[in-house]
Amino acid sequence: MENIDLIIEKLVKWLKEKVNDANAKGLVFGLSGGIDSAVVAGLAKLAFPEDSLGIIMPCYSDPIDEEHALLVANALNLKWKIVDLSKTFDTLVSSINDEIVNPMAKINIKPRLRMTTLYFFAQNYNYLVAGSSNKSELTVGYFTKYGDSGVDIMPLASFVKSEIRELARKLNIPQVIIDKPPTAGLWANQKDEDELGFTYDVLDEYIKTGNGPKEIVEKIERMNRISQHKRELPPIFE
């Protein structure tokens, strides 16, 4: 990206404006140990040095995720809290008296519990919830509806994954966070690119230029088409 300093300056100004427009005080966001949430944390800290709050929400998560989340918090001198959702997840699952025929229905309870948790802190402290979804994920619908997309503002939604890495380097995010394979952390050894079936570099190239291997382009366009409902408000009958 050209003039990344100016882009960050504009992002910080935008965050301040959106929070002010909502008559709020600051920002709260999930701190997962991944690069996207780390960049949101870095931007939030610049915009609201005293009113940025990262929430670490393990839910049968890999312990390295919490370790990396704390690494980011310490690097940014960020306020943080831990809310372990494992027991909450168990309680809800055990209360659902129905056969689980689609495992993702159960797995996606995790990001939806995290959304609920973030909105508690947002309302409690008069903050807005900042999401960490990027343009690459949004294009193919690689997010949970009313889970990680259940937010007030999306500062990274115009940036593809490769641009997120550039922002991370400029915001002094620890290198181990920048280098780690992207993961949603919803099950053991889960990796974004394994699940997508193509790399972020290929996806980013398609988003920027429309080019890519024929079979992958077809897959990306199909994923975009069938996930359109996730990027829109619910239809309203008129």
Q: What is the CATH number of the domain that holds 177?
A: 3.40.50.620
The answer to whether position 237 is within a domain reads no
Domain carrying residue 226: 4-231
Per-residue confidence (pLDDT) for residue 184, from 0 to 100: 73
Q: Give, for all 238 residues of the chain, the pLDDT tens digit.
A: 789 999 999 999 999 999 999 999 999 999 999 999 999 999 999 999 999 999 999 999 999 999 999 999 999 999 999 999 999 999 999 999 899 999 999 999 999 999 999 999 999 999 999 999 999 999 999 999 999 999 999 999 999 999 999 999 999 999 999 999 887 777 777 788 888 999 999 999 999 999 999 999 999 999 999 999 999 999 999 9
Per-residue confidence (pLDDT) for residue 182, from 0 to 100: 83
The answer to whether position 238 is within a domain reads no
75-91 b/e with 16+ CB inside 10 Å = b?
Answer: bbebbbeebebeebbee
The answer to whether position 142 is within a domain reads yes
The answer to whether position 162 is within a domain reads yes
Per-residue confidence (pLDDT) for residue 49, from 0 to 100: 98
The answer to whether position 58 is within a domain reads yes
β-strands 79-82, 52-56: how paired? parallel
Residue 33 near residue 64 (C-beta atoms within 8 A): yes
The answer to whether position 236 is within a domain reads no
At residue 173, the 3 state secondary structure works out as coil
Location of structure tokens 């947002």: 122
pTM across the whole model: 0.94
Residue 27 sits at φ, ψ, to 5 deg, of -135, 145
For the chain, how many structural domains are there in total? 1
The answer to whether position 89 is within a domain reads yes
Please report the DSSP string for 57-100 in residue order.
--SS--HHHHHHHHHHHHHHT-EEEE---HHHHHHHHHH--S--
